[in-house]
Amino acid sequence: MAKKVLVLGELREGSLRNVSFEAIAAGKQIANGGEVIGVLVGDKINDQAKEMLQYGADRVLTVEDEKLKHYTSDGYSQALLKVIEQENPEGIVFGHTALGKDLSPKIAGKLNIGLISDVTGIEENEGESIFTRPIFSGKAFEKKKMIEGIEFITIRPNNIEPLNKDENKTGEIQSVSVEIKDLRTIIKEVVKKASDGVDLSEAKVIVAGGRGVKSAEGFEPLQELADVLGGAVGASRGACDADYCDYSLQIGQTGKVVTPDLYIACGISGAIQHLAGMSNSKVIVAINKDPEANIFNVADYGIVGDLFEVVPLLTEEFHKLKEGAQS
């Protein structure tokens, strides 16, 4: 059965996050030949609406207001509830990001509908959508479906392949007028502590350090390797607790959950809390002096050695490969 599906486009510093395009692809699967409608909330977002069309949305609805320049759950929920009321969709897709995790339960509660969060796979069975999601910190997976009402899901970044971008694709972009009022929170300024670079939650390559890096300076060779690979640097909670790096880099059960194509763990023992945040990475490489370290149990490739010797060698070799490919 063809369905109408709303997909929330998520902005970061004026640009669409990659999870927005993955959400469109997920929406296409749920729609089963029906209509996928992109939704953008913010201020001056027409160019981003065009990009959602190029990645597969059939049309895009925008809610623009100066009060929506920065995310607040009050402002965004007012905008989205109006759009949902207007369109009456059979499905809704958000990214399982900090924004999506905050906003989706509020929307589901207001609509009195169910929510399937952290979806990593979608399959069709006799016209029904079956959603796969990890449980028990990624040690098992469950399959769920909605037996009634709107199919409302959030998808984990880097798990659903986005559709190919079509620069020539166009479609209708419609502005929806919503009165944003009675905001309990107004954000006047955003001060960022995290460094610029690849978004950790969406990075295809992550080089992560643990207590084995020994100091803040110990992260420098990891950053060099990440730069060569076009990736991001992450950390275990142990490294963050030791004040080697900021908690914004933490990966694990109480940090970010990541699923990159390549995860290089340097000086990380492999505590279960850390594994919960990265064990679903497509390829895991572990570098550790201790051959008995638990991280080797989940690694696809293991290197027993001093990370301060191994990482610079890897960086040098990748530099050579990169230069050879460019010549």
Can you give the pLDDT at residue 130?
96
Residue pLDDT, tens place only, 260-314 = 999 999 999 999 999 999 998 999 999 999 999 999 999 999 999 999 999 999 9
Section 95-116 average pLDDT: 96
Can you give the pLDDT at residue 197?
67
Beta strands 59-64 and 172-175, pairing class: parallel
Residue 46, marked binder: no
Residue 59, marked binder: no
Can you give the pLDDT at residue 199?
82
- Helix axes 220-229 and 307-326, enclosed angle (nearest 10): 20
Can you give the pLDDT at residue 207?
97
Flag whether pLDDT at 243 surpasses 70. yes
Can you give the pLDDT at residue 265?
97
Flag whether pLDDT at 192 surpasses 90. no
Which of 124-128, 172-176, 203-207 has the lowest average pLDDT? 124-128
Residue 138, marked binder: no
State how far the Cα of 45 lies from the Cα of 60, in Å rounded to an integer. 11
Section 52-60 average pLDDT: 97
Residue 70, marked binder: no
Can you give the pLDDT at residue 268?
97
Residue 270, marked binder: yes
* Average of per-residue pLDDT values in the chain: 93
Residue 254, marked binder: yes
Can you give the pLDDT at residue 125?
85
224 to 198, 238, 244, 298: CA distances (angstroms): 13, 21, 16, 25
Flag whether pLDDT at 194 surpasses 60. no
Residue 250, marked binder: yes
Residue 274, marked binder: yes
Mention every residue, 6+ apart, whose C-beta is less than 8 A from residue 309. none
Section 177-200 average pLDDT: 80
Please, what are the domains in the chain? 4-175 (3.40.50.620), 200-326 (3.40.50.1220)
Residue pLDDT, tens place only, 71-90 = 999 999 999 999 999 999 99
State how far the Cα of 218 lies from the Cα of 176, in Å rounded to an integer. 50
Residue 174, marked binder: no
Can you give the pLDDT at residue 326?
74
Flag whether pLDDT at 195 surpasses 60. no
Residue 268, marked binder: yes
State how far the Cα of 46 lies from the Cα of 69, in Å rounded to an integer. 14
Residue 253, marked binder: yes
- Sign of torsion, CA 200 17 100 25? negative
State how far the Cα of 75 lies from the Cα of 121, in Å rounded to an integer. 30
Mention every residue, 6+ apart, whose C-beta is less than 8 A from residue 164. none
Residue 272, marked binder: yes
pLDDT band at 118 (very low <50, low <70, confident <90, very high): very high
Residue 86, marked binder: no
Mention every residue, 6+ apart, whose C-beta is less than 8 A from residue 42. 11, 48, 63, 64, 68, 69
- Sign of torsion, CA 123 21 261 251? negative
